[in-house]
Structure 1
Amino acid sequence: MSQPTIDLSTRLLRNLTPWRTATTWRIAFSGGLDSTVLLHLLAHLAKTQSLPMLTAIHVHHGLQFAADAWPEHCQSVCDALGVPLEVVRVQVEPGASLERAARDARYGAFIAATHAGEVLLTGQHRDDQAETLLFRLMRGAGVRGLSGMPSERPLGRGHLLRPLLDVTRAELEAYATEYQLSWIEDPSNQDRQFSRNYLRHQVFPVLTARWPQAVATMARSAAHLSEAQGLLDELAQIDLAHATTVSDFDWLGLPSLELAPLEKLSDARQRNALSHWLKPLTTLPDSDHWSGWENLRDATGDARPVWRLAAGELHRAGGRLWWLSGGWLHTPPSPVSWADPSVSLALPDNGVLTFTGQPPDGPLQIRYREGGEVMNLPDRGHRDLKRLLNESGVPGFARGRLPLVYRGQQLLAVANLQGLNGGEQGGWYLHWQPLIEDQGLS
């Protein structure tokens, strides 16, 4: 065995050492050069090393006629190496960017397939990293984008790993030649209307003719920028720690931050902290759309500003920022009858209601605020509900979702608000568990 091959196996195993306790290493196997070499390397390492279970997954996009033969090719390769293969067929949604749509469909399949304790291995290499850097530079990316593809990141309930990012395409070709591997050549890789193909075939040959080390130096720049992004993330965590305070309305179950600590920061640090906080919640806005943050931050005290982003909305209320998404963006239907108040009531698009103590006599009905509601309180008489909500400091966005319990035309209780949520004389209280959104899947 030649020295370059020994080096490649050793480097791969070193890169994967922290992940050898995973339950499964699942290889994203397109059948192309990169994933073919990765699969072959791992299958041969498994003969002499104690590795997690190896499996492969092939995503069939169905975008071209030639692709129909690829699952069969991938199956034959996996059979020869003794690696189980799962073939997943996906529907690529039409859009402005076919590349992006195919990638979204592919990674959707990867997320669904990757379980807790598992890792998905992909074959991107150093040349891909350089292409990513230049591609994002042309799109005006910031430090995060220019840091390129991370070597590892969370994916679904597991992790995605790119163990070949320090390997060149030339090294992969040399390995494939030595072992006489066969792989698929995707015809679309020659189509230069796609931006990455244009960079690969038109731009990089010119760059490397003038600067032979261009790929290596660009990948090194991406590594420097990745380190810089790590420092920015640490700064964001420091700044967010001051803004992550307890609220009287934490029971709403919504991500929120105190505004005042953020306002003390420079504009750049505000954007950095918010970008870090918003990243798991939504696609981050581009530079032109950060004016929405400034409008939200600088609005007058009695305003109810909203910053609309791709996967939800940022609201300002009670000196805090609140993230709303999913069902929180829709008005729940009403009224809702509560035939048996002794059992919990699941509200359409609005969580669950429960009585503690002996519930009031029925029949009861759940409604939501429309304006003009009046509530009769012991020792206080009839009080306007709007004023009562103001006294309680309820965030404006939550007022239309607070369940109101009526008996006929009488407003008996407002869920969760002390003094309004039950009858002390009757010994019953109304509890509301608001809609729980899985914020991490946006």
Structure 2
Amino acid sequence: MNLSARLLESLAPWRNAPAWHIALSGGLDSTVLLHLLAGLAQREALPPLSAIHIHHGLQAAADAWPAHCRELCAGLSVPLQVEYVQVAPGASLERAARDARYAALAARLAPGDVVLTAQHRDDQAETLLFRLLRGAGVQGLSAMPVSRGLGAGCLVRPLLNCSRAELLAYAHEQQLSWVEDPSNADERFSRNYLRRQVLPPLLKRWPQALVSLSRSAAHLSEAGQLLDELAQQDVAAAETSNEFAWLALPSLALPALRDLSEARQRNALRYWLRPLTSMPDSEHWAGWQALRDAAVDAAPVWRLAAGELRRSDQRLWWLAGDWLRSPDVPKITIQSGQSVVLPGNGSVRIDGALPAGAWQLDYRRAGDQFQVLGRGHRDLKRLFNELRVPVFVRDRLPLMRLDGRVVAIANLPGLQGASDGSWQLNWQPPTSDQGLS
């Protein structure tokens, strides 16, 4: 089966997409992808086709590439959009450039749109070797999936079953021209070193190495899917209801996890944490054991890249964003029906009619007491213990004071306002959303 037929077959699941966008660098791989698709569009009913060139501005040679891509697309009657991006400085220039590129592509996608990238079998093998040398687990060694979500649409890699040699032969046959990225010869970059120094001797000894490595990546991808299915079951068993669901924070019941083997615990937590934070390395998982096995009356914390996992009353809670910062004391007066934004702590609202008086929003202070109907005055610390209020919530739970006395505690049944229900203090807590998922 020739390249055009194989490409069309691999894209069959996305034939009804609203549009196909080709990520066009101007290099060999994306040039061949563009040429193949432009030819298919002349004889097949395909979604509207266009190209996107991302200009990073990282090297002088790249300044000529947009003009090359415009000329190439004009000759094939394919619309082109050039996007200029800034690459954030950091430890890994490769990662920063990739992140900027995918962010720009995602911004261009309407709901259901598909962006097509030209990674091939050789790239898949390099990715597998690179991640193997970094000690990745099953999910990491699955290498690059054929498709994944991106922005409002999805990213598809339709050439993963093709070798670079096949693409090069096609380009020569069709007399295509393409740009060469000078950085591809810089062996300080790990992938270039693998491509230029490691793979050639491997292929000399094992000519089918690329096919074998690609096949291994597919097997690992299938194993990863099975692990995810097991994790879904384990996480579902731990996502039980709780009386503090109004916190709207990701949480799990610890006993349900404790019943699992160590390996299943880690698998379930990796799956649950994946959209929330980057995964810790193997040594850092000691933090999970310390969190799990701490004394019942302890308040352990497991700090991760994008937030913290806390334990309170046999439940795990994920905290990030404003939850990791102490809120400022509001010193705000409030009136009936008024909604007030609390700095770094969500918002509160009085539902009902407040009696006359100097009402003030506040947080708890040392020695605070609360008069509980039929039980007299109770120390706030002991009261929170009785109600099993998570420790991390206690110092940011909004209170109402009247003449300095605590007369309402937001969101706690029976304590959040007048005993006759004529008014209540309701709190909308902050979220743990970091915008990283």
* TM-score (normalised: structure 2): 0.95
Consecutive unaligned residues of structure 1, counting only runs of 5 or more, are none
Choose which of 186, 202, 209 in structure 2 pairs with 1:214. 209
Find the aligned partners of 1:356 and 1:38 in 2 and give their Cα distance: 60
- Aligned to 1:101, what secondary structure does the other structure show? helix
Measured at CA, do residues 340 and 76 of structure 1 come closer, stay the same or move farther in structure 2, by a change above 3 Å? farther
For 2:39, the equivalent position in structure 1 comes to: 44
Is residue 91 of structure 2 the alignment partner of residue 96 of structure 1?
yes
- The corresponding residue for 1:315 is 310
CA contact (8 A) 2:335 2:354 kept: no
AA at the equivalent of 1:126: R
Q: How much does 1:296 deviate?
A: 0.6
Aligned residue in 2 for 1:378: 373
> Contact between 1:296 and 1:307, CA under 8 Å: does it hold in 2?
yes
Identify if the C-alpha distance between structure 1 residues 307 and 118 changes in structure 2 by more than 3 Å, giving closer, same or farther: same
Correspondent of 1:18 among 13, 20, 41: 13
When structure 1 is superposed on structure 2, of 362-371 and 252-261 the one drifting more is: 362-371
Asked if 2 retains the 8 angstrom alpha-carbon contact of 1:258 and 1:320, the reply is yes
What is residue 345 of structure 1 aligned with on the other side? 340
Task: Pick from 339, 351, 356 the counterpart of residue 356 of structure 1.
Answer: 351
Between 143-152 and 367-376, report the one with greater CA deviation. Answer: 367-376
For 2:128, which of 117, 126, 133 is the aligned residue?
A: 133
RMSD of aligned residue pairs (Cα, Å) = 1.7
The equivalent residue for 2:59 is: 64
Alignment of 1:20-419 (within 5 A): 20-419=15-414
Whether 1:422 and 2:406 are equivalent positions in the alignment is: no
- Secondary structure at the aligned position of 1:51 is classed as coil
Which contiguous aligned blocks of 4+ residues in structure 1 show a shift greater than 4 angstroms? none
Aligned-pair distance for 1:279?
Answer: 0.7
Instruction: Report deviation, 1:157.
Output: 2.6
SS at match of 1:136: helix
Identity of matched residues, %? 62
Question: Which secondary structure does the structure 2 equivalent of 1:422 belong to?
Answer: coil
Instruction: Name whichever of 54-63 and 361-370 sits farther off.
Output: 361-370
SS of the equivalent of 1:281 reads coil
Shift, 1:355, TM fit: 1.9
Conserved? CA contact 1:338–1:345, under 8 Å: no
Deviates more, 1:173-182 or 1:409-418: 173-182
Q: Which amino acid aligns with 1:267?
A: E
**Matched residue of 2:11: which SS?**
helix
User: Hey, what's the Cα distance between the residues in 2 that align with 1:222 and 1:406?
Assistant: 62
Shift of 1:17: 1.5
In 1, distance between residues paired with 2:4 and 2:314? 56
Deviation, structure 1 residue 351 = 1.7
**SS at structure 1 position matched to 2:161:** coil
The answer as to whether partners of 1:413 and 1:430 remain within 8 angstroms in 2 is yes
* Cα drift, residue 331 of structure 1: 1.6
CA 1:373–1:145 in 2, change beyond 3 Å: closer, same or farther?
Answer: same
5+ long unaligned stretches in structure 2:
none
